[in-house]
Amino acid sequence: MNQIIGYIVMGVGVAFLFLGALGVFRFPDVYNRLQAGTKCTTLGAFLSIIGAGIVEPTWFLKCLIIAVFILFTNPISAHALARASYKSGVKLWDKSVVDKCKDFEECAKAQEDDK
């Protein structure tokens, strides 16, 4: 029983992994790619690892740790990459509608007095 559930969960995860990769492949600029990459691959990895934990119940706890680790770290790295892209001057897609960060030029300066 748990085998079937496990493989289903795993399958959903793999599908999301694939979608994430596809998004990274298709989307027009780095920020949009990150959007796709972060969300889909995080969930995808999470689900497939949990799925594996369900398939092999004795592994579950360890799988959980890996999955949670990914869940916690992936947004951080996505954020760091987005910020780095922005700071290193990667332009938004030219069809982007708004860039508050541009108005928010104190981004950098404000950081100084930020604790």
Partner 1 sequence: MTLMIFFGVIIIAVILALIRAVKGPTAPDRVVGVDIMVTITVALMVLLGIFFKRRIYLDVSLIYAVLSFVGVIAVARYLDKGL
Partner 2 sequence: MRKCQKNSNKMGRYTLTLISLFILWILLTSTLAWEELITGLVFSALIALFGYSYFTEKGFSGITLKKIAYFLLYIPVFFWEMVKANFDVAYRVVHPKMPIRPGIVQIKTNLKSDVAKLILGNSITLTPGTLTIEIVKDNLLIHWINVKSEDVKKATEIIGARFEKYLRVIFK
Partner 3 sequence: MRRIVSIIILIIIAVGFIFAFSKIPFGKDKINVANYYIKKGIKQTGAVNIVTSVVLNYRGFDTLGEVTVLFIAAVGLGAVLFVERKIQKNMDDKEDKTKRASLILRTGSRLLFPLILLFGAYIFVHGHLTPGGGFQGGAIIASGFLLMYLAFPKQRINKKTSGLAESLSGLIFVGIGLLGLVFSGYFLTNFLPKGIPNTLFSAGIIPIIYIAIGFKVGFELTGIIDDLLERSR
Contact positions toward Na ion, by CB under 5 A? 74, 77
**Cβ-count burial of 42 within 10 angstroms (0-12 exposed, 13-18 middle, 19+ buried)?**
buried
For partner 3, which residue of 58, 61, 100, 111 counts as binding (CB under 8 A)?
A: 111
Is the sign of the CA dihedral 101, 102, 107, 108 positive or negative?
positive
Q: Is 105 in the site for partner 3 (CB under 8 A)?
A: no
CA 115/CA 5 separation, integer angstroms: 47
Q: Is 49 in the site for partner 2 (CB under 8 A)?
A: no
For partner 1, which residue of 2, 5, 57, 90 counts as binding (CB under 8 A)?
A: 90
For the chain, what is the largest distance between any 2 Cα atoms, rounded to a whole number of angstroms?
57
Helix axes of 42-55 and 2-26: crossing angle, nearest 10 degrees:
160
Q: Is 9 in the site for partner 1 (CB under 8 A)?
A: no
Applying CB under 8 A, which residues contact partner 1?
A: 7, 10-11, 13-15, 17-18, 20-22, 24-25, 30, 33-34, 37, 41-42, 44-45, 48-49, 52, 55-56, 58-59, 62-63, 65-66, 69-70, 73-74, 76-78, 80-81, 83-85, 87-88, 90
